[in-house]
Amino acid sequence: MNNFIIVIFNNFIKISPLIILIISGYILKKISKIDEKYVHTNSWLIFHIFLPILVFEKISKFNIKVFINYNIIIISLFTVFIILVFGIIFLRILKFNENQKGVFLQGIIRSNVAILGITIAFSFYGDKAIIAGGIIIALLVPVYNIISVIALSDKITTENLKQALTNIITNPLILSIILGLINSYFKFKFPDMISNTITLFSQLTIPLALIGIGAFFKFSKLKEYFFYLNVVMIFKIILNPLIAFFIIYFFIKDFNVFNKVTILLLGAPTAISSFIMTNAYKRDSLFASYIVVYTTICYMFFSPILVSILNFF
């Protein structure tokens, strides 16, 4: 037992710099050194430039055969499907209003794999976390978008589905994954100036992303949603990785690094993009923002425990 606590403590120490960066973002926003405009600009830069460059760089370094990992695909799709079924059942049990139902479903499914999930997993598992993250992003971003549109819409229209498809096709992360795979296969050699610039851009991603997440945090009316937030947290942070764990334990029977990373990433907190979509569909955006904040805080403390448990397999 003592050894297990020591392992948890050591794993917590590994991600403590990430927590400090998030807290720094919150403090900087609180003392008005950064504002809402910065938060939105920073999010845009990370999603459209820095993170795609980081993903491209890491995927380019791996053999393309590593990227074809059927276990990650099976684990991810089945986990999302099972969580979605449980979520629909819980919608009938809990008394959500009409503006909260879609927000709840999106909140328990849509993971922040791209920014926080990969960042945490990278701290524990290195570059293989980027590869597993890339597979999950390419696989689940289309699934997330379609589920979100259906969950948040009053009715499903051709226009809604076209918009979801457009978002998938033009997603910078999916494009960077495709370009990374092409580069991984052909092994293009870039001039040092370009190669070094790519490295510098990719190094900006994690600190800027974490500061941006901290600046996004708001706590003014958290108590009003506290019960529902805990329900979402249990689904997102605990049930997602637990289901993925059982799929691996009973069916795949192989706890290699990629599968462990997949468990960790599927339990990642709710993506900030869920708040953006909720706003666009005029649903309960305050609930959506608190889901992002609360699941992120819980994940920062739960992820070292999860990694410590996975070390036994």
pLDDT, tens digit, 9 for 90 and up, residues 165-210 = 787 788 888 888 889 888 888 888 889 999 999 989 988 888 888 8
What are the residue ranges spanned by the domains of the chain?
2-310
Residue 104 to residues 78, 87, 150, 299: CA-CA distances in angstroms? 19, 8, 13, 18
The yes or no reply on domain 2-310 and CATH 1.10.472.10 is: no
pLDDT in tens, 77-121: 999 999 999 999 999 888 888 899 999 999 999 998 878 898 899
Please state, in angstroms and as integers, the Cα–Cα distance from residue 297 to each residue in 47, 122, 143, 221, following that order. 21, 18, 25, 16
Say which residue the tokens 């960077």 belong to.
176
* The pLDDT value given to residue 298: 93
Radius of gyration of the chain (CA): 19
* Percentage with pLDDT > 70 across the chain: 97
